[in-house]
Amino acid sequence: MTRPTLVTLAAVGALGVAPAAVAAPAADARAAAIRTYVLPGAAVYPEGIAYEPSRRSFYVSSTTDGTIFRGRLGGGSAQVWLPPGTDGRSTAIGLKVDDRRGRLYVAGGSTGGIWVYDTDTKALLARFSNGKPAAQTFVNDIAVTRGGTAYATDSLSPVLYRITNRPGRRIRYEQWLCFEGTPLQYTPGFNVNGIAATPDGRTLLVVQSNTGFLFRIDVATKRVTRVALDGLITAGDGLLLEGRTLFVVRNALGRIERIRLSRNLTSGTVRAVIEDPTFAFPTTVARARRNLLVVNSQFDKRQSGTPVLPFTVSEVNPRGRPPAG
């Protein structure tokens, strides 16, 4: 997920993508979205999305003021679920639902915060902060395992945070892994972004936006290794892992790539590209029954203040088309 204050067309180079690469592909390579969902507001600039199967509902975050919207699959407009600024949320980035436990995790970007909410009551269950200055942190994306453990990335600080959630115990937060001394080296710009976890919680995948590298993390040993791909995934943002299939949102390129991974998740090949006329600087993706929900951030319009209203979420078919070449 992308730092909204940095990602404009003038700053595409910071993502490791040449400006020419932002050009839209041919129209005949795109298929129309199944539907779009409207987000109310003239300056939403949404970022994260999470789907809640038990309610057939989805949540979307606003980077502008921390509003959390909730919409229903098959419906029209989403509605404000958590008002802006509540519980100190001045912005909201990545989201993840733990449907088994009825919890919503919210990443707080440059605030260094993470919030945990009850999806039934909207009650704030926990709030954590890394205590770092805004210039040194950007808590970005979150993954939750089947066992209820959550992991959060930081795009400016070389660490991974962990939140453990056991019945009858207090929710615990820690700086779980430091990337210093591993193959994942932070460089100037926006680093680790999207994160995904295997259901058993044994393996994590993270994408480094500025280098285009994908990394595998063994949770038991904390070993970090680079995944061998058939190309770089610069501008890689949100991730969605389903078995050996990995969906990677490439924000500045306006598309999603579907990667087929090896059995041990150590290598992969791009098998399909998903593009749609409704995509507008897409940031992340969530599975919703048979389709994908994609957030249209319009971060490239933020500096000029000329977004195309309304802000939307696209629902698209996950099949895509074969990659060029």
Under DSSP, the state recorded for 320 is -
Q: Which residue has better confidence, 232 or 323?
A: 232
Say if residue 216's pLDDT is above 90.
yes
Average pLDDT, integer, range 50-59: 98
Reduce the DSSP state of residue 50 to 3 states and report it: strand
The set of residues, in sequence order, having a beta carbon less than 8 Å from that of 230 and lying 6+ positions away, is 268, 269, 270
Say if residue 264's pLDDT is above 70.
yes
Nearest-angstrom CA–CA distance, 83 and 249 = 27
Tens of pLDDT, residue by residue over 118-151, are: 999 999 999 999 999 999 999 999 999 999 999 9
Structure tokens at 315: 């629902």
Nearest-angstrom CA–CA distance, 162 and 174 = 5
pLDDT, mean over the chain: 91
Nearest-angstrom CA–CA distance, 88 and 61 = 14
Say if residue 251's pLDDT is above 80.
yes
208 burial via Cβ count (<10 Å: 0-12, 13-18, 19+)? buried
Nearest-angstrom CA–CA distance, 157 and 186 = 8
**Res 45: pLDDT:** 99
**Domains by residue range for the chain, with CATH:** 9-17+51-58+82-283 (2.120.10.30)
**Res 322: pLDDT:** 83
- Region for 121 from its dihedrals, namely left if φ exceeds 0, alpha if ψ lies in -120 to 50, beta otherwise: alpha
| C-alpha pair distances (Å), 245 with each of 119, 120, 209, 237, 272 | 28, 31, 19, 16, 11
Tens of pLDDT, residue by residue over 28-54, are: 344 568 999 999 999 999 999 999 999
Cβ atoms of 278 and 291 closer than 8 Å: no
